[in-house]
Structure 1
Amino acid sequence: MKILVLNDSRAGHLNQCLAFAKLLNAEYMVANVRYPKRFLKALSYLFDKMGIYSDALFECTVPEGVFDVVVAAGSTSAYPLKVLSRKLGAKSVSMMLPRGYRYDYDVIFAQEHDTPPSAANIIPIAANFSFISPAGLFRASSPSIGIVIGGDNSVFHLQADRLETQLRAIIDAFEGYFFAVTTSPRTSKEVEALLERFTFGYQVIYSCNPVNPIPDFLDQCERVFITQDSTSMISEAVSYGNAYIEVLPLEGNGENKFSRLVGRLEEEGYLHVYDGTFAQANRKIDFREILRKAGF
C-alpha cells in the first residue's frame, strides 16, 4: 500500500495522518496543501455542495507515482482530499470529521467528542490516531512520575498558582519517586518561571530545548500527569505504554471538546481526572485493531 499524506501545516493534523500510515507500516509521501487566497477555501464549501471537484482552488504538488490511499485531517485539506483522491483513483481517508463538507469520503475516522453522525463510512474513535516511538531522551533508573505541562488555548487558561498547588500535592504524594517534567510550545513564561522554583530529576523547558520526551515518559514512568489542554498529548497517553494516566484539570468555559474527550476516556477507564486522589487507569486504545476492523 502506498499513501499520499496531505499536510496543511498544522502539526496535530499531520501527526494523525502520519500515524495512520506508520501503524499500517505503509510506504507514504507527504504533499503540502494550501489555499493561496482565503476566499478560495470559502468557495470550496460551495463547490463541494455542488459536486464540483477542481484543483484550481488550492496549491498542492503531488509526487509522481501511484497511490492507493490519500489521507488528510482538518478543514484546509478536506476539499483537496476529495479532489486528489478522485484524480488519483485512490481511496479517500479523513482523520477527522470534516464539518461543512459532505461526508462522502471512503472512510472518516471521527473523534467521539465531535459527536459524529451514524453512517457506514464514519468510524467513531475515542481519541486522535497516534504513533508513539520512544527516542531515549529519558530513561528511568528508579520508580518515576512523568508530568507533561501544556498551556493556554482558546478554551483553557493554565493558571500558575493552581498548577503550583497541584504539583506540590503530587510531589508530597509520591515521596521518593523520581520526577520527570516537560513543557510544550504553548507553555507560558510565567509557568516556566514557576517550574524553575522546583528541583526535578529531569526537566525539559521546550522554549529552551525543543525536544519531545513524552513517548519516553509513557514508556518509562509508573504514572503520567498531563494538563487538560491538548487532545494530541492525551491521545498519545491513552494509546501507548502501561503508565497510569492522570489529567490535570484547567479552568475552562463550560462544556467543550476537551472536556467531552476527557470525560469519555475517564468513563471507559483510559485515564483519571486528578481531584486530589489517584486511580489505576491505564487502559490503552489499539489503533491497529481499529484499522483492521476498518478494512486496512
Structure 2
Amino acid sequence: MKALVLSDGKPGHVNQSLAFAELSGCDHDLVEVRTRGRLAKGLGYLFDRCGVYSSSLFTPVTCDGHYDLVVSAGSETYYANKVLARQLRVRSVAIMLPRGFRYDFNLILAQEHDNPPSRDNLVSLPINLCRVSPQGVFRPEPDRRYISLIIGGNSRHCRLDAAALKVRVEEIFALFPAADKLVTTSRRTPDEVERMLETFDFADRVIYSRTPKNPIPDYLACSEHVFLTGDSTSMVSEAVSFGNGCVEILPVDYRRPDSKIAAMISHLEKRGLLHVFDGSLGHCRDKIDLQQLLKGVL
C-alpha cells in the first residue's frame, strides 16, 4: 500500500501524516501543496460545501506512480486532499479534525481533546500521531541512571514562569540526588528560563537557542523519569507513547483552562498515563501503542 502525503510545510502537521503512513505500514511520497492565497483558501471551504472540486485553487501537485490513499493534516491541505483523492480514485485520510470542511473523508483521525463527533469514518485518538526514533544525539552510558527534563516555551495557550519552574527543578534534583539529570529546551523557551536552567548541574544540557538539535527521542529512550512542561501536545504525545520512563508534567500558566493541551493532559492523567508534578512522583509508566490503535483502520 502506498500513500501520497501532502505537506503544508508545518513540521507538526507533516510529522503526523508521516507517522500515520509509517505506523500503518504504507510506503509514501511526500509532496508540498499550497493554496493560491487567502481567497483561494476561503473558496476551498465554499467549494467543498457545494461539492465542487477544482485543482485550480492550489499549486500543481506531481503524482508519480500508483497510490492507494491521500493523507494530510492542516487546513491548507484538506481541500487539495479531497480533489486529489477524487482525481486518483483513491481513499482520502484527514489527520486532525478538519473543521470547516465536510467530514466526508474516507477516514478522519482526530484527537480526543478536539471533542470530535461520533461518525463511522472517524477514529478518535488520545494523543497526536508521532514518530519517535533516537538519533544518537545523546548516548547514555551503561549502568547510569537518567532523569530528563524537556522544557518547551510560551505560546498562545500558555506561558512559562521561570521562578515557578525553578522551584520544580530544585525539587527534582532533591528527589534524585545520585541520578544524571538531562535537560533540553525548545525554540520557544524564554531567555530567562534558559538562564535559570544554566544554574543547575545537568549531566547533559541542550540549550536550543545555541545548539538547535533535538535530543528528546534519545532522552525518552534512556530515562527512568521524564519531566516535561505541559505546553505542547506533540511533546506530551511522544512522552506517553515511547520509552519506559514515568511521565511527570511540569505545570505552566494556561491562558485558558479549557485549552487543547490542558484538556489532553487532563484526559491522560485520568487514564494513569501521566502525573502532574506537585513535588511527589506519580509512577505513571504505561504507554500508548499507536500502531495497535491504528490496526484495521484502513
State the TM-score, normalized to the length of structure 1.
Answer: 0.97
The DSSP-based 3-state class of the residue aligned with 1:77 is helix
Q: In 1, distance between residues paired with 2:245 and 2:50?
A: 49
Deviations 1:51-85 (A, max 9, x none): 01111111142231111111101111111111111
Structure 2 stretches lacking a partner, 5+ long: none
1:80 counterpart residue number: 80
> What displacement does 1:244 show?
0.5
Give the aligned CA root-mean-square deviation in angstroms. 1.1
Deviations 1:147-200 (A, max 9, x none): 000000111011111111111111111111100100111112221111222221
Does residue 287 (structure 1) correspond to residue 293 (structure 2)? The answer is no
2:119 counterpart residue number: 119
Q: In 2, distance between residues paired with 1:124 and 1:18?
A: 18
2:53 counterpart residue number: 53
Q: In 1, distance between residues paired with 2:209 and 2:233?
A: 21
The DSSP-based 3-state class of the residue aligned with 1:34 is coil
- Equivalent pair of 2:249/2:276 in contact (CA under 8 Å): yes
Does residue 13 (structure 1) correspond to residue 16 (structure 2)? The answer is no
The DSSP-based 3-state class of the residue aligned with 2:70 is strand
Q: In 2, distance between residues paired with 1:224 and 1:257?
A: 21
- Equivalent pair of 1:31/1:60 in contact (CA under 8 Å): no
1:211 counterpart residue number: 213
- Equivalent pair of 1:32/1:60 in contact (CA under 8 Å): no
Q: More displaced, 286-295 or 109-118?
A: 286-295
Match of 2:243 among 241, 244, 261: 241
Q: One-letter code of the match for 1:272?
A: H
> What displacement does 1:293 show?
3.0
2:180 counterpart residue number: 178
Q: In 2, distance between residues paired with 1:208 and 1:127?
A: 30
> What displacement does 1:282 show?
1.6
Q: In 1, distance between residues paired with 2:79 and 2:35?
A: 11
1:259 counterpart residue number: 262
Deviations 1:70-129 (A, max 9, x none): 110111111111111111112111110100100000110110000000000010000001
Does residue 134 (structure 1) correspond to residue 134 (structure 2)? The answer is yes
Q: Could you say if the C-alpha distance between residues 97 and 168 of structure 1 is closer, same or farther in structure 2, counting changes exceeding 3 Å?
A: same
> What displacement does 1:214 show?
0.8
Q: Could you say if the C-alpha distance between residues 60 and 235 of structure 1 is closer, same or farther in structure 2, counting changes exceeding 3 Å?
A: farther
- Equivalent pair of 1:97/1:111 in contact (CA under 8 Å): yes
| Total equivalences in the alignment | 295
Q: In 1, distance between residues paired with 2:139 and 2:274?
A: 23
Does residue 33 (structure 1) correspond to residue 33 (structure 2)? The answer is yes
Q: In 2, distance between residues paired with 1:34 and 1:103?
A: 21
> What displacement does 1:254 show?
2.1
% same residue: 45
1:67 counterpart residue number: 67
State the TM-score, normalized to the length of structure 2.
Answer: 0.96
2:101 counterpart residue number: 101
Q: In 1, distance between residues paired with 2:269 and 2:199?
A: 32
Q: One-letter code of the match for 1:78?
A: Y
